[in-house]
Structure 1
Amino acid sequence: MLNIHVGDHDSAHNKARIKCEALMNQEQHIQLAFFKQSKQVRNDYRIRLTASIDCIRLLLRQGLSFRGHDESENLENPVDESCDVSTKEQMSIVLRYVNNSGQANECFIGPEHVSSTIALSLKATIDKTFSKYNLSLSRLRGQGYDGATNIQGEFNGLKSLILKENPCAFYIHYFAHQLQLALVVVAKKNTLISNFFRLVADVVNIVRASSKRCDHLREKQANIVAKALENGEILSGRDLIKKLPFSVLVHYIDVPNMDDMFICRATRGRPQRQALEITYLHHFRVDLFYAVIDMQLQELNDRFSEANTELLLCVACLCPKDSFSAFDKKRLIQLAEFYPEDFSSVNLLTLDDQLETFIFNMCSNKEFEGLKGLGDLAEKLVMTKKNIIYPLVYKLLTLVLVLPIATATVERIFSTMNIVKDRLRNRMGDQWMNDSLVVYVEKEIFSNIDNEVIIQCYQNMKHRKELL
């Protein structure tokens, strides 16, 4: 029936098809007949368009504004009237993945404006972003955030909401934030440390508030250094390299004798009655150092769950340092069991055999000597085609590499946001800021996009009088 409907070459169906193709062909459009271009006109148009693209590239790479400081919608830029320099909550999303060369990369997706910072709102924003880029949450194998309560809550936190939907998306608390938050808590709990940091902050604020005080402090410090150089108390740069590994500059600080008795003072500075007789060494070692270490250990234990600790211990067994000295097959099998979606029971048996052959091959192969980390191991496996010979071992390695362990990329993005959208460009909208940030952060990818690709994309956006 379809063939009868189509008919021969001069049937009504074929005539309609030919007319439709002609209508859709932009080069045969009626408007082009009125504005027929010569070759010189096309070349001039391409030159102007290429120059405009080069100017836009420069502005985007430098984070500069396009129309002074006013980039609002009435100036034909895709922005709104928002002023989120200080009022809008932004969530930065970065995807970590392993490419075909075995390199672990972090790709900035863009900032997302969130109306609320509660876990449900953040989860909805992540779902929306994944849907926008055709990504599946079921393929997620790791998640990392800072230590806010709306993130790490055991029942209603963002990480718990994602884990309920995908148990293999393991939550890794960023190591930098682990240490930072632990130190902050200790500084607040320990009176001596809290007073010390408060005193340092007061001194810095007082000196920094006056340029005269800063100049006076620099002048005094320069005089102290000059006098110390004269007396031979410190060495100059050249002498320092030739002679002693280091030297000490006297700062007129009273250093107590550690064997003397420590006088414990009350809040107002008076000596306490019935105070324990202890030495300065005992005070600094037990009352201060040991107490602070105990607080830090307690804080770190609270921030590392048992599952995460076990996961990281298993990950360490893949490290190629010192000829795979940390290799442990049982722990690596245990690591694979954390990912039931990627390793079936049959895969686990096959992985057991592959690990035996893998470690023997690695230790006897000179090409794998001197590797420093998991990233180097993955790249070397791809380079030598060993990822094809040991596919399950390589899959386990890629799962380890995608675990987020640092916030450097995210922190840089938030710093970049203050450059791209500053106080003078506060009318920049969400979409325009998103596009500008992606280009500014991913400069290498943007530089690899040829002008011809941009021109064709621009040409296909709508019908234009001048056609390239």
Structure 2
Amino acid sequence: MILEDSSNSDHRVETRLLLNNLQSFEFIFQLLLMRNILGITNDLSQALQRKDQDIVNAMSLVKVSKDRLQKMREDGWHNLLCEVSLFCEKQNIDIVNMDDAFVLQGKPGVNFKRQLQELNNRFTEVSSELLICVASLNPRDSFFAFDKEKLVNLARFYPSEFSSLELTGIGNQLENYIKDVRSCEQFSNLDGISDLSRKMVETRRHIVYPMVYLLLKLALLLPMATATVERSFSAMKFVKNQMRNRMGDEFLNGCLVTYFESDIFDSVENEKILQRFQNMTSRRGKL
């Protein structure tokens, strides 16, 4: 419509260029390629974005995604080319002759390499094992995921926190701990390790099982590759921009809190905020 009806010649020229790019074999090829890649990793992406993360299944999806991407890279080109050619034929788009001379730009399978490299960077063998070990602390379904050997292995990842003597004794403490919490009604129906850590403090079992509680604290401090963390770092670019690049840590922290928790702050009336600042100002004046 813009190409045919627009009175602006610049718009018509720009539209013609865009249409030429969209209606090309190269564009269709990349479009279907990315559709396949994103389709393979979609379940993994959804699993990592859920708040009630099932780490064990998420790690299984990482392996599945890597294997499928590698298989598609090795054996999927012929089917992809056939699919692209069929689509172009239906839409009357010129099909590239693969026998013609072609100057290669970039490397074959670069999208696969990038996706595989991204998965390998985020989920190394060590980090995957670490996440699986952390999942053994999950209290759901009467501590169904509990695995003593994995938790002992988790402690070995932190040599500065657990001495060799403590590593020798942590196995027995884990066995006492799991028998205790499984038989205690207060520890039933817990939703995650954060609930478990609070319940241990409430029942003073963090004193009885100090090494188990230390594992819980380390697990809660462990940075996860979640969508929440990704969005937090992305948001920093909006808060600390070129106009405010000298912002101090304290001010930046305050701005980020209000940015992330905007839904909560929207419910606070402006009058209450003004009143609070007036009270703070008056107290400082008296001091």
| TM norm structure 2 | 0.50
Confirm or deny that 1:195 pairs with 2:31. Answer: yes
Give the partner amino acid of 2:246: D
Whichever of the two has the greater Rg, that structure is: 1
In structure 2, the CA distance between the partners of 1:364 and 1:310, relative to structure 1 (3 Å rule), is same
Confirm or deny that 1:313 pairs with 2:132. Answer: yes
2:246 is aligned to: 430
C-alpha displacement of 1:332:
0.7
- Paired residue secondary structure (2:136): helix
Give the partner amino acid of 1:411: R
C-alpha displacement of 1:376:
1.5
Asked if structure 2 preserves the Cα contact closer than 8 Å seen for 1:264 and 1:271, the reply is: no
C-alpha displacement of 1:327:
0.9
**Whole-angstrom CA distance in 2 between matches of 1:408 and 1:367:** 30
**Whole-angstrom CA distance in 1 between matches of 2:134 and 2:84:** 47
Post-superposition Cα deviations, 1:82-126, rounded to whole Å, max 9, x if no partner, equal: xxxxxxxxxxxxxxxxxxxxxxxxxxxxxxxxxxxxxxxxxxxxx
Give the partner amino acid of 2:189: G
C-alpha displacement of 1:409:
5.0
**Whole-angstrom CA distance in 1 between matches of 2:185 and 2:216:** 20
Asked if structure 2 preserves the Cα contact closer than 8 Å seen for 1:264 and 1:272, the reply is: no
2:11 is aligned to: none
Asked if structure 1 preserves the Cα contact closer than 8 Å seen for 2:28 and 2:84, the reply is: no
**What aligned pairs does 1:343-422 form with structure 2 within 5 A after superposition?**
343-405=162-224, 406=226, 408=228, 411-412=231-232, 414-415=234-235, 418=238
**Whole-angstrom CA distance in 1 between matches of 2:34 and 2:112:** 20
Post-superposition Cα deviations, 1:144-175, rounded to whole Å, max 9, x if no partner, equal: xxxxxxxxxxxxxxxxxxxxxxxxxxxxxxxx
**Whole-angstrom CA distance in 2 between matches of 1:374 and 1:362:** 13
Asked if structure 2 preserves the Cα contact closer than 8 Å seen for 1:368 and 1:380, the reply is: yes
**Whole-angstrom CA distance in 2 between matches of 1:342 and 1:302:** 26
C-alpha displacement of 1:378:
1.1
Give the partner amino acid of 1:353: N
**What aligned pairs does 1:149-164 form with structure 2 within 5 A after superposition?**
none
Post-superposition Cα deviations, 1:52-104, rounded to whole Å, max 9, x if no partner, equal: xxxxxxxxxxxxxxxxxxxxxxxxxxxxxxxxxxxxxxxxxxxxxxxxxxxxx
C-alpha displacement of 1:401:
0.9
Asked if structure 2 preserves the Cα contact closer than 8 Å seen for 1:319 and 1:327, the reply is: yes
How many residues align? The count is 184
In structure 2, the CA distance between the partners of 1:334 and 1:430, relative to structure 1 (3 Å rule), is same
Asked if structure 2 preserves the Cα contact closer than 8 Å seen for 1:265 and 1:271, the reply is: no
Q: Tell me the percent identity.
A: 34
**Whole-angstrom CA distance in 1 between matches of 2:241 and 2:112:** 42
Give the partner amino acid of 2:146: F
In structure 2, the CA distance between the partners of 1:435 and 1:414, relative to structure 1 (3 Å rule), is farther
**What aligned pairs does 1:279-294 form with structure 2 within 5 A after superposition?**
none
2:5 is aligned to: none
**Whole-angstrom CA distance in 2 between matches of 1:400 and 1:335:** 9
Asked if structure 1 preserves the Cα contact closer than 8 Å seen for 2:29 and 2:84, the reply is: no
2:4 is aligned to: none
RMSD of aligned Cα (Å): 4.3
1:145 is aligned to: none
C-alpha displacement of 1:397:
0.8
Give the partner amino acid of 1:399: L
In structure 2, the CA distance between the partners of 1:270 and 1:191, relative to structure 1 (3 Å rule), is closer
In structure 2, the CA distance between the partners of 1:297 and 1:431, relative to structure 1 (3 Å rule), is closer
**Higher relative contact order at CA 8 Å, sep ≥6: structure 1 or structure 2?**
1
Post-superposition Cα deviations, 1:258-294, rounded to whole Å, max 9, x if no partner, equal: xxxx788398338999xxxxxxxxxxxxxxxxxx999
Asked if structure 2 preserves the Cα contact closer than 8 Å seen for 1:333 and 1:348, the reply is: yes
In structure 2, the CA distance between the partners of 1:420 and 1:453, relative to structure 1 (3 Å rule), is same
- Paired residue secondary structure (1:358): helix
**Whole-angstrom CA distance in 1 between matches of 2:122 and 2:241:** 34
Asked if structure 2 preserves the Cα contact closer than 8 Å seen for 1:317 and 1:327, the reply is: yes
Unaligned runs of 5+ in 2: 1-25, 36-81, 89-93, 100-110, 266-272
Give the partner amino acid of 1:377: L
Post-superposition Cα deviations, 1:160-195, rounded to whole Å, max 9, x if no partner, equal: xxxxxxxxxxxxxxxxxxxxxxxxxxxxxx986623
1:442 aligns with one of 257, 261, 272: 257
